[in-house]
Amino acid sequence: MNAFEKWQVIVNTVQAGIILMAFFGALYIGFKQNEINDKLRLLQDYVAVAAVPDANSVIKLINTGKINLYIWGFDMPGNNQRLDKPRLISAGSMEAAYYWIPLPTFDEPQKLNPFEFKLYLTDQFGNKWISEHGGEAELSTVKIDNKTVPELRTRMWSYKTFKSEWSFNHSVGGVQRTQEPQYIKTDLRLQFFGDQRIPQEVSSDNVASWFAYFSPSLAIIPKDAHGNMVAGGLEVPPNWAIFVALDKPAKFRQAIVTFSNPEIMPITDVHMANSRVIAISTRGQVPAGVLNIHIIK
């Protein structure tokens, strides 16, 4: 291995180390930003439903959260229902505005105790939710006009309400819950200025946060013992590393990088592209123009 090759190995190692450090730093920042975004969404999109027994032998559904909800159907022992059009459950109105659903079908109440039921909901922003509840029923008697008549006494409680990409399978009357990441339109357009300034975001889809790191040019000039330049020097051009954290997990075949003027765009490398993170780097300065990072299905 000659002197030039040795210097090339050293330079490549240094450059790889810088990119790796920047990548892990950006990854940490991205995950922290995701945590903050998730907490903010929890505060803004607080969703909760209370199930309350009613004297008319139905179950009241009261929206105790912060945003309007729509019920599309429910699973109830002996009485699963799917609605052609969703029913509104208004937020902030408590018992002044509620929706009701029937009790389970009781042939022998003691055989259904306790029972559980699920609600299939969407919020006003289109997010899907499942709300889980439970209850008990007791067959008793009550006197009305000096006559003893049967009465069904019920108690209700709520478990939890959580996001779930449910969908109705009408062919079998069931519910499908999607757990795998799905294709989501994902792209990031950045305006570069041809210098060391951090690019400005032009537009984005499904991007929680992004980070751009600039590495200046690096020149290695070997000299002899007398300070004279010798052959074998190496110069590494300036380059950029860009890290993108996705808002929602996305399933895709490939991450693509394009530029508004492809004739002057330096070579770009995609180092990582999974359902949560995309990391790229350039082999030279990015000229003034718009860089577009996007995925294909």
pLDDT higher at 9 or 83: 83
Q: Are strands 165-169 and 147-163 parallel, antiparallel or unpaired?
A: unpaired
- At residue 17 the predicted structure's pLDDT band, cuts being 50, 70 and 90, is low
Q: Which residues, in sequence order, are bridge partners of residue 149? A: 142
pTM: 0.46
**121-149 confidence digits (pLDDT tens):** 998 888 899 999 998 887 777 777 777 76
- At residue 172 the predicted structure's pLDDT band, cuts being 50, 70 and 90, is very low
Using a pLDDT cut of 70, give the percent of the chain over it: 75
Average pLDDT of span 277-287? 91
Task: Give me the sheet containing 254-259, strands edge to edge.
Answer: 200-205, 187-192, 289-296, 254-259
**Which stretch of 26-35, 192-201, 248-257 has the lowest confidence by average pLDDT?**
26-35
User: What pLDDT is recorded for position 41?
Assistant: 55
| Unique residue bearing structure tokens 């090339």 | 8
Average model confidence (pLDDT) across the chain: 80
Would you list the DSSP string of the chain?
--HHHHHHHHHHHHHHHHHHHHHHHHHHHHHHHHHHHHHHHHHHT---EEEEE-TTSEEEEEE-SSS-EEEEEEE-TT--EEEEEEEEE-SS-GGGS-EEEEPP--SSGGGG-SEEEEEEEEETTS-EEEEEEEEEEEEEEEEETTEEEEEEEEEEEEEEEEE-EEEEETTTTEEEEE-S-B----EEEEEE-SSSSPPEEEEEESEEEEEEEEE--EEE--B-TTS-B-S--EEE--EEEEEEEESS-B--SEEEEEESSGGGPPPEEEEEE-SSEEEEEESSPPPSEEEEEEEE-
Average pLDDT of span 8-32? 63
- At residue 171 the predicted structure's pLDDT band, cuts being 50, 70 and 90, is very low
Question: How far, in Å, CA of 243 to CA of 279, rounded?
Answer: 4
User: What pLDDT is recorded for position 43?
Assistant: 47
Length of the chain, please?
297
Q: Could you check whether the bond before residue 53 is cis, i.e. omega within 30 degrees of 0? A: no
- At residue 6 the predicted structure's pLDDT band, cuts being 50, 70 and 90, is low
Dihedral (CA of 26, 27, 33, 34) sign: positive
- At residue 20 the predicted structure's pLDDT band, cuts being 50, 70 and 90, is low
| Unique residue bearing structure tokens 């592209």 | 273
Which amino acid appears at position 294 of this protein?
A: H
Question: How far, in Å, CA of 131 to CA of 120, rounded?
Answer: 7
Q: Considering just the CA atoms, what is the radius of gyration of the chain in Å?
A: 30
User: What pLDDT is recorded for position 124?
Assistant: 85
**174-204 confidence digits (pLDDT tens):** 555 555 678 889 999 999 999 999 999 999 9
**209-224 confidence digits (pLDDT tens):** 999 999 887 777 777 7
Q: Are strands 58-63 and 49-53 parallel, antiparallel or unpaired?
A: antiparallel
